[in-house]
C-alpha cells in the first residue's frame, strides 16, 4: 500500500464490502478479529462497525438500484474497517509516545470549521459517509483521529506523508505486537498496514467441495 493510501486510511474508513471467510479453526484468540496490545477487537465488534456503515449507506441511498450499485462496487469492507480500527490504535500509541493529546475544544473547532466549509452538520455527515465511508455516529471519532495524526506529525517535525511519521507508526505497531485473525490477513509492522494472507486452504476447500457429489 502506497504511503498516500495509508495516509488516506488515517482519515477514513474505506467503503467496501466482502463476505467473511470461514475461520481456519486454529485461531490463537478465539472470537477475536485482532489483538492490539492488551486490547481485543472481537469479531462481533467488527461486524457491528461494518453494519453501522451499511445502515448509514442504506439510509442515504433509499433507491434500491442505487444501493445495489454501492454494494456491487465494494469488495472488502470487513477487512478495511478492521484495518482502520487497528491503525487508529497504532496512531493512539504513537501519539502517546510523543505526548500528543487532542482536546474537546480542538475537536469542536475542527468540526465547526469543516461544517462552515460544506454547509452545516448534515452536509458534513453526508460528505464523510460518501467520501470516506464514515457513518454519522463515528464522525467525531474520525475527526479526532485526523487531528491526532496532524498533531503527531507536527510534534515529529514532519507531515503524515513523510517517512518520519510512518517510522513512528511502525515503532508503535511493533510495541503493540499486533496479531490479526488469519481470516483478515496479517499486520505489516514496517508499513503499519493490513496485508492479505496467503490462504491456499481456501482454494483447497473450495475445490474439494466442488468435487463432492450432489
CA distance 18 to 70: 12
Paired sense of beta strands 32-36 and 39-42, if any: antiparallel
CA distance 188 to 20: 21
List CB contacts of 31: < 8 A, sequence separation 6 or more.
Answer: 40, 42, 43, 44
What the chain holds in terms of domains, given with CATH numbers, is 3-209 (1.10.3120)
Kindly report which listed range (24-28, 76-80, 186-190) carries the lowest average pLDDT score. 24-28
Q: Is residue 108 predicted with pLDDT exceeding 50?
A: yes
pLDDT band per the 50, 70, 90 thresholds, residue 19: very low
List CB contacts of 132: < 8 A, sequence separation 6 or more.
Answer: 11, 12, 13, 14, 15, 142
DSSP annotation string for 16-33: ---PPPPP-S--SSTTEE
Amino acid at each position: 500500500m502506497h504511503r498516500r493510501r495509508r495516509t488516506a486510511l488515517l482519515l477514513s474508513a474505506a467503503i467496501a464490502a466482502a463476505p467473511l471467510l470461514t475461520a481456519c479453526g486454529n485461531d490463537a484468540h478465539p472470537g477475536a478479529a485482532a489483538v492490539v496490545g492488551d486490547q481485543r477487537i472481537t469479531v462481533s465488534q467488527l461486524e457491528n462497525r461494518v453494519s453501522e456503515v451499511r445502515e448509514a449507506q442504506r439510509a442515504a441511498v433509499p433507491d434500491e438500484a442505487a444501493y445495489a450499485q454501492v454494494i456491487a462496487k465494494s469488495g472488502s469492507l470487513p477487512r478495511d474497517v478492521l484495518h482502520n480500527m487497528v491503525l487508529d490504535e497504532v496512531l493512539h500509541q504513537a501519539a502517546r509516545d510523543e505526548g500528543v493529546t487532542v482536546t474537546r475544544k480542538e475537536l469542536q473547532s475542527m468540526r465547526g470549521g469543516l461544517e462552515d466549509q460544506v454547509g452545516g452538520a448534515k452536509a458534513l455527515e453526508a460528505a464523510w459517509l460518501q467520501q470516506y465511508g464514515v457513518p454519522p455516529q463515528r464522525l467525531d471519532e474520525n475527526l479526532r483521529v485526523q487531528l491526532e495524526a496532524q498533531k503527531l506529525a507536527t510534534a515529529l517535525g514532519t507531515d503524515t506523508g513523510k517517512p518520519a511519521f510512518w517510522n513512528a507508526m511502525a515503532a508503535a505497531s511493533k510495541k503493540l505486537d499486533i496479531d490479526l485473525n488469519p481470516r483478515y490477513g496479517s499486520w505489516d509492522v514496517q508499513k503499519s498496514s493490513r496485508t492479505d494472507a496467503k490462504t491456499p486452504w481456501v482454494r483447497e476447500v473450495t475445490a474439494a467441495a466442488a468435487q463432492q457429489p450432489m
